[in-house]
Amino acid sequence: MKMLVFGHGYSAGFLTPLLRARGWQVLGTTRGDPGRVAAAGATPILWPGEEARLREEIAQADAVLVSTAPGPQGDPVLAAFRDDLARARLRWLGYLSTTGVYGDRDGGWVDEDSVLDGSGPRGQARIRAEHAWRDLADGAGLPLHIFRLAGIYGPGRGPFQKIRNGTARRIVKPGQIFSRIHAEDIAQVLLASLDRPAPGAAYNVCDDDPAPPQDVLAHAADLLGLPPPPEIAFEDAEMTPMARSFYQDSKRVSNRRIKGDLGVALRYPDYRSGLAAILAGEDTPHGLRPAPVHDPRA
C-alpha cells in the first residue's frame, strides 16, 4: 500500500511510523527540508519542483493525505493536481482542516453537524477549501474524509521552554475556551479512519477537555515546579496579528464521532496527561521531534 502526503509536516511525522510498521510505503512533499521527511520514514518529494513525479505517484497511490493550508488563490493541491486526483483510483483520501471552520460560539459546544461559520480570512478560506474538496470528491467519486483539527501540541510544541526561560505569559480573556489535540492522537484517528473508511465523513479531532489557555500554562509550570507565568489581560497583551486571531474564537468541540464511529481511545484525553507525557519524554531520543514552535493556545 502506498500513501502520498501533501505537506509532510509535524502531524504527518507521527502517522508515518505507524503506517511503515504495517508495511506501507509513504511519500511526502516538502518545500525544502527532505531530511526531516526522511527522518520520519517517508520518501521526500520536493514541491514545487517535482510535479511530474507527483503526477505519477498520484496515479499509483492507494491513499492521499492533504495537510497543506489554503492560500489566497485557494487550495494549492487542487490548483496543481485536480485533474490527476480526479483520475486516481484511491481507496482513501484525507483532508486536514481545522475547528476554526466553526467560528466563535461564545464558549458553546459544536459538533460535525454544526453550521460552518469561520471567523476571519483563515476560517473562511478553510470552509472554501472543504467545499472545493467535496466538489471534487462528489464529481470524481473519491473517498474523501475531512478531519477538523483542534489546537495541535506534542513533543517540540509544548509550553515548557518558554516557562523555563521566563517568556511565557498567561493571557486572560474572560470566557475564552480552546480545544486541543496531541499529535499522537491525530495519528491514531487517521489510522482508525484508514481501517474504517466512511467516504464523505467529517471528524472533529480534539481531546475531552476544552480549557482556558491560562489554565494550561499554570499546570505546565506546576509540573516544572515553577511559579505560574504572570497574567496579562487580553486587551493589554502585545501579540502578533496571527496570535491575536486565535483569541477571536471561543468554543468547546465535541469528539464523540471519533470515539463512536472510529472506536478511538485517546492516549491523551486532556492537556494534563499530554503535558506530563511531553515532559517525561524530553530526555528520551525522539527522531521525529521538530524544533519548538509556539502555539498561543498551548
The reply to whether 71 falls in a domain is yes
| Residue whose cell numbers read 513525479 | 53
pLDDT in tens, 239-250: 998 888 889 999
Q: Which helix (H) or strand (E) holds 82?
A: helix 76-87
- Cell 502506498 maps to which residue? 2
Q: Which domain holds residue 127?
A: 2-154+180-208+254-280
What is the DSSP-derived secondary structure letter of residue 235?
G
Query: pLDDT tens across 189-202, in order?
Result: 999 999 999 999 99
In the chain, how many domains are there? 1
- Whether the per-residue pLDDT at 13 is higher than 90: the answer is yes
Query: What confidence score (pLDDT) does residue 119 get?
Result: 80
Residue 170: strand, helix, or coil: strand
Note whether residue 104 is domain-resident.
Answer: yes
pLDDT at position 288: 39
Q: What is the pLDDT of residues 164-220, one digit of tens each?
A: 999 999 999 999 999 999 999 999 999 999 999 999 999 999 999 999 999 999 999
SS3 content of the chain, % helix, strand, coil (to 5): 40, 20, 40
Residue with cell 528520551: 284
- Inside any domain, residue 164: no
**Angle between helix 213-224 and 271-280 (nearest 10):** 40
Rounded Cα distance, 233 and 227, in Å? 18
Whichever domain contains 72, its CATH number is 3.40.50.720
What is the rounded average pLDDT of the residues 57-72? 97
Is the confidence at residue 295, as pLDDT, over 50?
A: no
- Taking the C-alpha atoms of residue 187 and residue 48, their distance in angstroms, rounded to an integer, is 26
Residue 82 inside a domain? The answer is: yes
Written as one letter, the residue type at 28 is G
244 within a domain of the structure (yes/no)? no
Asked whether residue 102 is domain-assigned, the answer is: yes
Q: Is 163 contained in some domain?
A: no
Spatial separation of the C-alpha atoms in residues 261 and 144, rounded to whole Å: 16
Residue 182 and residue 155 in contact, taking contact as beta carbons nearer than 8 Å: no
Strands of 63-66's sheet in order across: 43-46, 25-30, 2-6, 63-66, 92-98, 144-149, 202-205
Residue 168 within a domain: no
